Chain A
């Protein structure tokens, strides 16, 4: 479980996060949604320590991440998997090496154990045949799946996905969404998905937090968001042209 309490961040004279508080439960796919520039990626980056918040607390199962020492943070970071918007795969590594890398760095597994884990994770994301390819040889959807495989290979307790569907066609987006949700359930992970894709909201949004100009504007489930009369959310939903795709 990740608890966020009163998180604020200012860049120069612009406050991008204003007193954000929320609870993200384990085994639940939580979505942070909002328009571009609303502060959702900044929030995710504050949560994992890539950006230092000005105020507030981030508790990973009760451990205050913001006020930890660098060494203590490393312990928590070993429990975090992060899928980046552009996948952020290491160009000079093959798919197999990319997925194995966190195991080399973070674990004391034997080489055989690592190989078995890589095989199992690649099988889970259905990329067994692509293990010897380099990122430049992969499609956008494959890159995302390798990104997911790399994120989950060290069995993290917390999974962050930043715009997992950006640049993907609707069908591939559904596959990626389903994969994220299944993995969350299978491993009882605390999963946060940062997105502005309303189709993802409908498909996998068990808990949704809507951010508007850096403020937590609304929270609820995917069923509740369809019934809200909140003007900003309605504008966001209408602007997205949602529900244009069908589950495949």
Chain B
């Protein structure tokens, strides 16, 4: 328990420092834009590929599991939309990004630590935690909801392709299903939790990278710890958010 509390305290102190007032806003603005490109736009490809197949698979599996003649086939479209909006796009994308972005952040910051680049920043009087971590967190929190919206459209589009090219469900029924009982609240809920997840998958690997010590081996371990812990935290937080906001 004591090591857990030690790391938790250290994490919050780091976050406190990271969110303290920046030295020069112009520098941070430039870094924020760079991070938005590197964390967001560079992830677009993988998000789209995963989403289209995810939507297609949800559609096929839903169809495969509907045995009863009393359940209308537009349920397939409805289920695909609901699964995508409520869970797959915000949560699975967050887990994917935790792997891709999280490992990248932890190894980048960890390498800067072991090559004394962070010390160089500190000696210049720069708040290294704010300079390195804050732009990453803000960029991810801002851009993640947009990635999730894209993922939602592409995933539902993936299901549409199944409807178009197979006879599992007709296009008209699929279209009817994805429009049925649409609630904007669910989208707001999904986007909000995607922002929370973005905070987690940037801040936790940042913490592990920032306190990496030693050499390449330790940076690798820090990267792994960052990804594993942020993935677990995302799943736990997802449970609580779902329990609180959806029931």
CB within 8 Å of B: which residues of A?
Answer: 48-50, 73-74, 77-78, 80, 82, 84-86, 88-91, 101-102, 104-106
7 shortest interchain CB distances as A-B pairs: A77-B125, A88-B116, A74-B125, A88-B120, A84-B116, A82-B123, A88-B117
Q: A104-B27, A105-B23, A105-B27 are in contact. Are A80 and B123 (CB under 8 A)?
A: yes
> Which residues of the other chain, B, contact A102 by a CB distance below 8 angstroms?
124
Which B residues, 108 to 167, have Cβ-Cβ distances below 8 Å to chain A?
111-112, 115-117, 119-120, 122-126
- Selected from B112, B117, B119, B125, the residue in CB contact (under 8 A) with A78 is B125
Question: Does B183 touch A at the CB level, under 8 Å?
Answer: no
| A106 CA / B125 CA spacing, docked (Å) | 8
Contact B124 A77 (CB under 8 A): yes
Contact A104 B116 (CB under 8 A): no
Contact A86 B115 (CB under 8 A): yes
Contact A50 B119 (CB under 8 A): yes
- Selected from A85, A91, A106, the residue in CB contact (under 8 A) with B124 is A106
27 pairs from A and B in contact (CB 8 Å cutoff):
A49-B123, A50-B119, A50-B123, A73-B125, A74-B125, A77-B122, A77-B123, A77-B124, A84-B116, A84-B119, A86-B115, A88-B116, A88-B117, A88-B120, A89-B117, A90-B112, A90-B117, A90-B120, A91-B111, A91-B112, A91-B117, A104-B24, A104-B26, A105-B23, A105-B24, A105-B124, A105-B125
Contact B123 A48 (CB under 8 A): yes
Contact A50 B115 (CB under 8 A): no
Q: A104-B24, A104-B27, A105-B23 are in contact. Are A84 and B120 (CB under 8 A)?
A: yes
Most chain A CB within 10 A, of B26, B111, B119, is at: B119
Would you give the shortest CB distance from B32 to chain A, in whole angstroms?
Answer: 15
CB within 8 Å of A: which residues of B?
Answer: 23-24, 26-27, 111-112, 115-117, 119-120, 122-126
- Selected from B111, B112, B116, the residue in CB contact (under 8 A) with A85 is B116
Most chain B CB within 10 A, of A73, A78, A88, A101, is at: A88
> Which residues of the other chain, A, contact B122 by a CB distance below 8 angstroms?
49-50, 77
> Which residues of the other chain, A, contact B116 by a CB distance below 8 angstroms?
84-86, 88
> Which residues of the other chain, A, contact B125 by a CB distance below 8 angstroms?
73-74, 77-78, 105-106
> Which residues of the other chain, A, contact B112 by a CB distance below 8 angstroms?
90-91
| A89 CA / B67 CA spacing, docked (Å) | 63
Residue of A nearest to B118 (CB): A88
| A50 CA / B119 CA spacing, docked (Å) | 7
Residue of B nearest to A74 (CB): B125
| A104 CA / B157 CA spacing, docked (Å) | 47
| A74 CA / B125 CA spacing, docked (Å) | 5
Would you give the shortest CB distance from B187 to chain A, in whole angstroms?
Answer: 36
| A85 CA / B116 CA spacing, docked (Å) | 9
Would you give the shortest CB distance from B71 to chain A, in whole angstroms?
Answer: 54
| A77 CA / B122 CA spacing, docked (Å) | 9
Residue of A nearest to B131 (CB): A105
Contact A105 B126 (CB under 8 A): yes
